[in-house]
């Protein structure tokens, strides 16, 4: 049997989806309107977070907020605090320290979609360490810059997927690690929210790929090891063996040659552990065209094959 299979049913373009509701609203520095409703509770900084359950946040957000440890604010006071809710033009609200009537220091924002952002602020924008819980229950904990997710941080998906690593302008960029509940894991390079560069992808069944990625697909040069012992070392394109490579079977068989869209195609050599060998043309995974066959006795003969079957000897 000369057939071999590639990454059957194993997707590498899965990813932890990233969305940052409200951040562009914060970034635009809208005009603030003060809500005249005063809070009846005496607040000692930073205990204003106790007001969060009374805010118009979604039930998903409140459930996750109750499960997570309290967000840790810096002890440094950078702005002044008044017992009031600041309401933005877009309908979101802010509670916390301010400077020149803009969020500055420690505080939280409830976005008009029910998401919750607890963060350090600088002149109206989220800057420094923060946490945002999205209205669907996903949450991000890490660094912000000028109202955007930027720096080192962790995004946790409500279904259990997680990304931990570097961010740039709200997208995974640099070194990072993604994990999934089924045991799959990716460690490596990211660019503009995609796996791009060098990385290691391990599936829950123990299969593993190490090599180059491009836009969250296996592309370039790399090594794939199946859980049953098969191994391919070579070139890839669009998650498929494509170009030159070597495919090794657990029983000692080896194919070395060209691939096209996951199949032996072009010129290649197939060796059996007992000494037999085929060297010649391939098409769509089968011997097809002129080739040389080496028998158990070491004798080589030239022949012609069509769709994997020898039709005649040529010598």
Same domain, yes or no, for 127 and 56? Answer: yes
Domain limit, last residue, from 170, 186, 220: 170
Q: Give the mean pLDDT of 88-113.
A: 88
Minimum mean pLDDT range among 39-43, 227-231, 276-280: 39-43
Domain limit, last residue, from 101, 135, 170: 170
Same domain, yes or no, for 117 and 27? Answer: yes
- Per-chain mean pLDDT for the chain: 86
pLDDT-based confidence at 141, cuts 50/70/90?
very high
- Domain holding 21, by residue range, is 14-170
pLDDT at 27: 29
pLDDT at 264: 98
pLDDT at 202: 98
Does residue 185 or residue 9 have the better pLDDT? Answer: 185
pLDDT for 119 beyond 50? yes
Q: Give the mean pLDDT of 165-177.
A: 97
pLDDT-based confidence at 304, cuts 50/70/90?
very high
Candidates 154, 172, 151; CA nearest to 15 is 172
Candidates 6, 121, 131, 152; CA nearest to 67 is 131
> What percentage of the chain exceeds 70 in pLDDT?
84
Does residue 245 or residue 18 have the better pLDDT? Answer: 245
Distance CA 231, CA 275 (A): 20
> What percentage of the chain exceeds 90 in pLDDT?
72
Cis peptide before 46 (omega within 30 of 0): yes
User: The CATH number of the domain where 49 resides is what?
Assistant: 2.20.110.10
CB 201 within 8 A of CB 183: no
pLDDT for 149 beyond 90? yes
Distance CA 103, CA 195 (A): 35
Total domain count, the chain: 2
């Amino acid at each position: 049997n000369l057939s071999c299979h590639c990454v059957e049913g194993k997707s590498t373009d899965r990813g932890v989806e990233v969305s940052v509701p409200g951040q562009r609203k914060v970034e635009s520095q809208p005009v603030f309107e003060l809500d005249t409703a005063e809070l009846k509770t005496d607040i000692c900084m930073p205990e204003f977070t106790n007001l969060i359950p009374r805010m118009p946040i979604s039930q998903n957000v409140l459930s996750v907020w109750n499960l997570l440890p309290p967000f840790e604010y810096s002890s440094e006071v950078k702005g002044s605090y008044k017992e009031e809710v600041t309401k933005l033009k877009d309908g979101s609200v802010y509670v916390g320290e301010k400077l020149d009537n803009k969020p500055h220091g420690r505080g939280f924002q409830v976005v008009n979609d029910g998401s919750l952002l607890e963060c350090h602020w600088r002149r109206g924008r989220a800057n420094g360490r923060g946490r945002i819980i999205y209205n669907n229950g996903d949450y991000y904990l890490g660094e912000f810059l000028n109202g955007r997710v930027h720096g080192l941080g962790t995004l946790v998906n409500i279904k259990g997927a997680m990304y931990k690593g570097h961010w740039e302008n709200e997208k995974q960029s640099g070194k990072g690690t993604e994990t999934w509940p089924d045991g799959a894991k990716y460690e490596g390079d990211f660019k503009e929210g995609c796996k791009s560069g060098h990385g290691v992808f391990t599936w829950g069944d123990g299969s593993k790929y190490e090599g180059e990625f491009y836009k969250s697909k296996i592309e370039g040069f790399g090594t794939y090891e199946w859980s049953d012992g098969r191994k391919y070392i070579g070139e890839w394109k669009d998650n498929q063996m494509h170009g030159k490579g070597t495919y090794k079977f657990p029983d000692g068989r080896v194919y070395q040659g060209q691939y096209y869209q996951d199949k032996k195609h072009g010129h290649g050599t197939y060796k059996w552990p007992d000494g037999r060998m085929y060297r010649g043309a391939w098409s769509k995974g089968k011997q097809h065209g002129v080739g040389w066959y080496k028998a158990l006795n070491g004798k080589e003969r030239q022949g012609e094959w069509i769709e994997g079957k020898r039709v005649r000897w040529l010598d």
